Amino acid sequence: MSFLNTAINANEELFELLHVKGLNASHHHLFAVGAGGDVSAGIDLEAEQIFIKHLLPFGEIVSEESGVIPSSNAHARIILDPIDGSDNLLSHLPYYGTSIAYFENEKCTQAIITNLANGDVFIKDETGLRQGKIGKKDFTLVTYNAFSKVGIFERSYCSKKAHEKLHDAKIKYRSPGAFALSLAYAHDVSFVLYEGVMRSYDVEAGLFMCEDLHTFYGGDIFLVSKDKEIFDKIKSLFISN
């Protein structure tokens, strides 16, 4: 079975855990600080075990929770965020998912990001970026949404400079709280903006999916947009003349 099909199966198992069996008290229990620097909840660790079971034969796993998990296949590396937006999940806010990037010879060649709240699945390989649904076999090519009205500004709650600049420029945005998932929706929204230190677990799959979009990374500001006019306008807010 292919890597992407196996990753889809793992996401389906996790989706069933969340929506059929449901969360229990152990999933809310907090454990030690994970490799990514955040405190791991029980659901983070259980989700990680599901992905390890399915994906470890394909290559070494670098997970936000447990760090490096060696594999007998030394030729590939998998960057994994088992639950992207776990605070949302545990708060019953319907915007959380998973992020998986597959690297061969230090190059990302396949990726999957899943919205575990509504079942949206984004996959990309040599055939392009496609979108489908958990439990369905049909995937369609992702195209640009020409009618987007707002962008996404992740981590806006701790912004030191971007929030004020966007406010003054009258640029609308939302801050849903799952960066990898937001990057998966970059072809739909006006832009995705992030202020702060980016971690590999959060961005590798999303960056691979956004290769055809306008991208800027300078200092602690990351911006991606399908719209050149919006991209240039926001970028100019952070570039000194």
**Which residue numbers belong to the known binding site?**
64, 81, 83-84
d(CA 83, CA 224): 22
Q: Which residues are annotated as a binding site for Mg(2+)?
A: 64, 81, 83-84
d(CA 177, CA 7): 23
Q: Which residues contact 69 (CB under 8 A, 6 or more apart)?
A: 52, 56, 60, 61, 62, 63
**Treating both helix axes as pointing N-terminal to C-terminal, what angle do 42-55 and 3-16 enclose, rounded to 10 degrees?**
150
**DSSP classification of residue 19:** I
Q: Which residues contact 120 (CB under 8 A, 6 or more apart)?
A: 114, 131, 132, 133, 184
Residue found under tokens 């709650």: 157
Is 85:95 a contact under the CB 8 Å cutoff?
yes
Residue 205 vs residues 72, 99, 121, 234: alpha-carbon distances, Å: 23, 6, 12, 23
